[in-house]
Every structure is written in C-alpha cells, then in structure tokens.
Structure 1
Amino acid sequence: MPRTMTTIVTLNTRGLPLKGTRIAERCTKIATELGAGDIDMVCLQEVFTYRQLAHLRRPFPHVAYRRSALGPAGGLVILSRLHLAGSEYARLPQPRRGSRLPVRARVNALRSGMLSVRLADSGVRVVNVHPVANTDGDWSEGNRFRHVQSEQFDALARVVAADNSPTVVCGDFNTARSSTLHGDLWRRTGLRDAFNGECPPTFHQEFLPPGSTPHCIDFILATEGLGVEETDLLFTDRRRMTSGTGYVSDHIGLLARLGIP
C-alpha cells in the first residue's frame, strides 16, 4: 500500500527567560528556516506569549493551541501545513503537596502539559508534550522529581493507549533516555523512538551549569504502522542574526519523515 510522507519537527524554543534572549529575532529566524523547507508539522514548546507565536506561525496556515491570558497554555503550539481536525489540551499532573521539590520547580510544573491534534486526511494523532524539568539532572528512581515525572508519563501513556489510531508523540520530555520512565512508556503504548536511540544530546552544553553533562531529552516517538523513512537534526549550530551570532534555542530540533499508510 502506498504511503503518504509527512515531515514532523519538534523544538523547544526557549521561551524562558525572555529578558535579554533576543526572543523576537530568534523566533523570526526559526520561522524563516522552518518555512523554507518541506516540513508539514512543527511541535513547539515554551511559546509563552502571543508575540512569540505571531513570529513563529507566519509560514504555516494552520495552528493549534489552547488560549490562556498571556499566551498559549503550557507554551505548547502545533503549526501545520496539513488540515487539522480539532485539538485538545490537558495539564499534566502536578507535584503533590508536601513534595520536596523547590518552589521554582513547582511554579514551572504549572506549565507542563500536552496538546493533541488529529490530521484531517489521515486520522493520525500528533501529541506535543512537555513534562516538568528535572533540574537535578538525576534520573534515578530515588530522585525527588521521580514521583511527579512518573505521574506525568503515566498521564501521557493513558492518552496514547485510549485510542488505537496511529500516533506521533513529540516534545521536550525533560528526562534523559537512560531513565526507566521511557522504557515503561514505550512498553505500555507501543511507541518507538524515531531515531532508534541514536540521537545525540539535544541540549546545548553552554546553557548547562559547569560540570553538567548534556543528554538527549527531546524525542519524536511513533506507534507501529508509521514507518520512519528519515531523521535529521535542526539548529545544531549558531546562526547569524542582526544582533550577532548565536543559537536560536538552547535545544536542538529533531526532524522525522514518516510514512503514513
């Protein structure tokens, strides 16, 4: 049976902090480069203001997000050249009262969520997810972030398993590939890594605290039946901008070309 090729990208745009990060210029650069290619869909994280969104969405006729007071809920946006059949947004579970997480992590957890859309022509679901960041950089089962991250991964697994439609899950998972949370998610849902475990660290070293090790924390996952034809990395190098050279994001972008039956 012939397959329709669909190209999907995921990128954390580094929406925070806004001050001093040339956010408008970086968003314009991201939009220009994504719009110049044959990309069908883009899953973005940390788009926290409508001004950011206005810069990013220009090349794409269709956009999905949940409105909130200052910008897209959870900072999650899906841009598309393909027609979409509705969207749903849900906040991920929050840290329990009495947990040992720092105040900043609790505040950031309010922005953790998932945004789902369905492609009108094929019925394929695309889920854009952004769990809470583990600022300890420790993904062992005894880490203080483990409980809330486990509950958030569990919520994602339930959404994927609730519908047997072919599904793509993209996003900044804020959890290294070495964490057992990934293996549990994949076993429960049938999701598989489009990069087959070969993706390099997806967070630029220079944005980490001294002595920290970068990891692969961004993923494109797909259920069986969606063939992975090609993968690539985006925004790995500094770009020339009006105000000087620099990275457009603290993350690199991931691209997967999928075959849809």
Structure 2
Amino acid sequence: MGQRPEYGSRVSVASLNTRGTPLLGSRLAERYRAIGEYFEAGDVDVVSFQEVLTYWHLRQLTAGLPSFRYAGYRPSALGPAGGLVTMSRRRLVGTVYQRFPRLPGRSAAALPRRSRLTAPWKGSLMVRLAEPSLRVINTHLLANFDADWTEQSRYYEVHRHQLAALTSIVESIDGPLVVTGDFNISRDSSLFAEFVEKSRLADAFEDCPPTFHPEYLGPGQRAHCIDFLLFSRNSLRAEKAHLIFTDKVPMKNGAGFASDHLGLTATVGTRES
C-alpha cells in the first residue's frame, strides 16, 4: 500500500467513469477490484466516479477503497443519484446533488429513444472538504452517440442546456472549486470553449489527449477528449496532471481495461501555496 499523503493546502483529485462496455459481461467486480487497488496504492485524496449505477456497484466500489473513508452521493431508489459518487480520504462536510433541468420539448424530441430515457437522470454532485476549504463537483452529461458536436448535431442544444445548468452551479460558488467528470463533449467543440469562458474555469491539461479507449468505439469512429478536470483559475493552480488507467490492468481472469474511459488526475492548490 502506498504512503499516505500529508494533508495540507494541496489536494490530489481524480475522475473516472467506471462502467465499461458492454454492460453485460464487462467483468465489473474484477475491474472495480483493480480500480480500488490502484487508488489504495497511490496518493490521490479525492476521486469522482461516474456510472456507479446501483447499490451493488457502490458496495463493490467502496469495498476496495478502505482508506477512502468518506463517500459523497445522494441515495435514490436503485443507487446513487445520477450514478455519481465521490470518494475521499479527507473528511467531507457537505454533499449536494442537483439533477439537470428537464430538457426543452423540441430538443428532447430530436433525440433517439435511448437518450430520451437517460437524460432525466443526469446531473451534478458537489462535495465540500473540511480541510482545506475546497468544493469538488462531479458531473455526467448525456452521451452523444453520434460523436457530432457541431451546431447541427441533434445533441447540441441538449448539451448547451445541461452546461448552462452546470455553469449556474459554478457561478453560485464562492471559493476554490474543482469540476470533474464525463462531459461527453469534445474538447475541440464550441460547447467546451463556451463553457470554460462562461464558468471562468481552467483546464488542468494543457493538451488533453483522448480519454476513451478506441477499442470500444465503432467502425470509423475516433476517440476524443471528453472527460475533464477543471478548476477555478482565479484561486487555484494545477500541477502533475496526467491520465490514468491508460493500459490494461492485471485481473484474476486475465488483463483488461479498468473502464472504457481513461481516468484523469491532477494536484490542485491555492495560488499562495
């Protein structure tokens, strides 16, 4: 097990969408065990997880993370609301979940049935650390199955709607803030550029490489940077940003990817530290 970090003004934050595809036969228990072993051996303080869909998923995840004593999520009938869970080695003193507002009728009607069914369950989870004073937002936007982020895309207005709601949350926060998660929008899109400008957030990665394993993409598709680790640029700075789970990990029945997504991690600290 890795050496525990000394608590101070710097915080190491990570983000990972945990589902893996296909949904059936994805070796979820093995993958969650590998994910736990990775974080237990490292020095990350806070991890934002997406697609922890049921309480069974949650039990599998927390069992492998004994040093992450604090779990932030909002209970719902089947599991954590929005599939969002934030695990922390540092004490959490507040947890708030906000579902994205209902989609405008015309925007929703343009979506495929699968997207219309999942859109109402998307949202953002915010936790607050006791020390240092830092809020971490964990979010998951609707998946874009067309991989088209132009203004002509049938997902464009939906994503603008969800990003506007996320921007409102960011603007309501007074103090240091980190925003992480699976945005399902390309870093090269106007959607991302508009969001970081309005939210006044900075990207921990100067050049974000693809965050989705190409092995899980369909024919002719290419991977994009769709997962982000952002921070309030006026009060924080970021260092040591890098991707995690880039390669296959050892598992009982043979090596495999921990998820269809790659993870991200960075250390953030106040500008005075």
Please state whether the residue corresponding to 2:160 is helix, strand or coil. helix
| d(CA) in 2 for partners of 1:46, 1:88 | 17
What is the match of residue 218 of structure 1? Answer: 227
What is the match of residue 19 of structure 1? Answer: 24
Aligned AA (1:201): P
Cα displacement (A) at 1:95 = 3.2
Deviates more, 1:134-143 or 1:103-112: 103-112
Please state whether the residue corresponding to 1:29 is helix, strand or coil. helix
Please state whether the residue corresponding to 2:220 is helix, strand or coil. coil
Query: Could you state the TM-score of these two structures normalised by the residue count of structure 2?
Result: 0.91
1:31, 1:55 within 8 Å by CA — same for their partners in 2?
Answer: no
Match of 1:121 among 115, 127, 131: 131
Among the aligned pairs, what percent are the same residue? 46
What is the match of residue 37 of structure 2? Answer: 32
Query: Could you state the TM-score of these two structures normalised by the residue count of structure 1?
Result: 0.95
1:64, 1:78 within 8 Å by CA — same for their partners in 2?
Answer: yes
What do the CA deviations read for 1:104-150 (whole angstroms, capped 9, x no partner)? 01112133110001111222111001010111100001211111110
Cα displacement (A) at 1:195 = 0.5
Match of 1:164 among 152, 160, 174: 174
Please state whether the residue corresponding to 1:248 is helix, strand or coil. coil
Aligned AA (2:222): T
Check if 1:237 corresponds to 2:247: yes
Aligned AA (1:54): R
What is the match of residue 77 of structure 1? Answer: 85
Aligned AA (2:231): A
Please state whether the residue corresponding to 1:34 is helix, strand or coil. helix
| d(CA) in 1 for partners of 2:28, 2:123 | 22
1:140, 1:146 within 8 Å by CA — same for their partners in 2?
Answer: yes
Please state whether the residue corresponding to 1:241 is helix, strand or coil. coil
Count, aligned residues: 258
Cα displacement (A) at 1:55 = 2.3
Aligned AA (2:81): A
Please state whether the residue corresponding to 2:255 is helix, strand or coil. strand
Match of 1:65 among 49, 73, 80: 73
| d(CA) in 2 for partners of 1:48, 1:39 | 23
1:15, 1:48 within 8 Å by CA — same for their partners in 2?
Answer: no
Superposition RMSD on alpha carbons, in Å? 1.4
1:172, 1:217 within 8 Å by CA — same for their partners in 2?
Answer: yes
Deviates more, 1:238-247 or 1:131-140: 238-247
2:51, 2:83 within 8 Å by CA — same for their partners in 1?
Answer: yes
Question: Any stretches of 5+ residues in structure 1 without a counterpart?
Answer: none
Cα displacement (A) at 1:206 = 1.0
Cα displacement (A) at 1:17 = 4.8
What is the match of residue 53 of structure 2? Answer: 48
Aligned AA (2:51): E
Deviates more, 1:45-54 or 1:151-160: 45-54
